[in-house]
């Protein structure tokens, strides 16, 4: 039985995710050797680049995908939200694991909640989606850029450089750092990123052996929910990182989806929700409702501010 080589980023969280997949595969086939192959990505090398210009654009995945296409690894484990919504030719998502907690959380000095943060408190996040939503709740806060792995980010609060930071709950849970959370934001209050908390296992589209090995890891309800969330992002911006949040739940044959576009300038929110049995069509339908409510104007204003030409809305 040939060994399976799993490609992954080298951060603590990425290695945990890859090891988790490896453990699941070992339990399915105890005799199979599994090797982890840490890979440095473009996003890791550009340590000072704005994170909001990198997530969901391939900066954290393209190098690993190239190694997979070249046959140097057999599988790749990604945080699903890092994968561009346009699939890479020759590759397929062979499994979407059962989702971890999806919420965003606050990690603050003194255990402060968002309401208790001092006026003008410095809050670290490089996510325009997070800062726009929190600006709508606390317009007085001072949002600062934030990069680095989880321990590095948390250390900035410990050193007093920031009063608080905003992170995904899933990563903290996976690394045993849930005790650092001072507030969990319900999805009804702060919508997470599309596919937040989900892991994607990527394989070569032609590799039947690898596809068969990972297929039992696939969690259908998670896959259907995440597909509808990513369909919103694809319809609105073709995969670029923008202040778009989405959260879906699969309930039997139907999926319930809520999505929103948030204005970084003033924290304004445009939200829409619907349900349906076909995840991709549901995502497209909700995105059309967002556009009808004015989301296109918010996205166009963001493009003008950033100096980009507005991408075509599909």
**Which residue blocks in the chain are alpha helix, DSSP H?**
12-28, 42-45, 62-69, 128-137, 150-158, 169-174, 208-214, 220-237, 279-292, 295-306
Q: Are 59 and 79 in contact (CB under 8 A)?
A: no
Strand order in the sheet with 199-204: 34-38, 4-8, 75-79, 199-204, 91-96
Rounded CA separation 224/283 (Å): 11
For the residues of 173-242, what is the DSSP string, one character each?
Answer: HHTT-GGG-SEEE-TTTSPPPTTTT-EEEEEETT-HHHHHHHGGG--HHHHHHHHHHHHHHHHHHTT---
Alpha-carbon separation of residue 35 from 22, 60, 64, 147 (angstroms):
8, 20, 15, 29
Closest CA to 132 of 235, 253, 311, 270: 270
Helix (H, G, I), strand (E, B) or coil at 112: coil
Phi-psi region of 110 (alpha: psi -120 to 50; beta: other; left: phi over 0): left
How many residues does the structure list for the chain?
A: 314
Helix (H, G, I), strand (E, B) or coil at 274: strand
- Asked if residues 299 and 261 have their Cβ atoms less than 8 Å apart, the reply is yes
Tell me which residues are annotated as active site. Answer: 82
């Amino acid at each position: 039985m040939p060994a399976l080589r799993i490609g992954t980023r080298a951060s603590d969280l990425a290695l945990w995710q890859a090891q988790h997949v490896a453990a699941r595969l070992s339990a399915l086939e105890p005799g199979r050797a599994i090797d982890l192959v840490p890979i440095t990505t473009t996003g890791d090398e550009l340590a000072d680049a704005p994170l909001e210009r990198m997530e969901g654009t391939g900066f954290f995945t393209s190098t690993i995908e190239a190694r997979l296409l070249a046959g140097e690894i057999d599988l790749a484990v990604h945080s699903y939200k890092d994968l561009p919504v346009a699939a890479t030719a020759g590759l397929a998502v062979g499994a979407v694991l059962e989702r971890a907690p999806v919420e965003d959380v606050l990690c603050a000095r003194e255990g402060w909640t968002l309401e208790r943060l001092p006026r003008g408190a410095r809050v670290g996040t490089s996510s325009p989606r997070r800062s726009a939503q929190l600006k709508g709740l606390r317009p007085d806060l001072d949002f600062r850029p934030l990069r680095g792995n989880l321990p590095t980010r948390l250390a900035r609060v410990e050193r007093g450089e920031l009063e608080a930071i905003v992170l995904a709950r899933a990563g903290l849970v996976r690394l045993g750092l849930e005790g650092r959370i001072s507030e969990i934001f319900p999805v009804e209050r702060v919508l997470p990123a599309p596919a937040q908390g989900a892991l994607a296992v990527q394989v070569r589209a032609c590799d039947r052996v690898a596809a068969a090995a990972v297929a039992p890891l696939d969690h259908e309800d998670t896959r259907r929910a995440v597909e509808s969330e990513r369909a919103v992002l694809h319809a609105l911006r073709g995969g670029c990182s923008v202040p778009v949040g989405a959260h879906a739940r699969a309930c039997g044959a139907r999926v319930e989806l809520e999505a929103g576009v948030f204005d970084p300038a003033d924290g304004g929110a445009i939200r829409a929700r619907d349900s349906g049995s076909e995840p991709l069509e549901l995502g497209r339908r909700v995105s059309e409702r967002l556009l009808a409510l004015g989301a296109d104007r918010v996205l166009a204003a963001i493009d003008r501010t950033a100096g980009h030409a507005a991408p075509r809305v599909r």
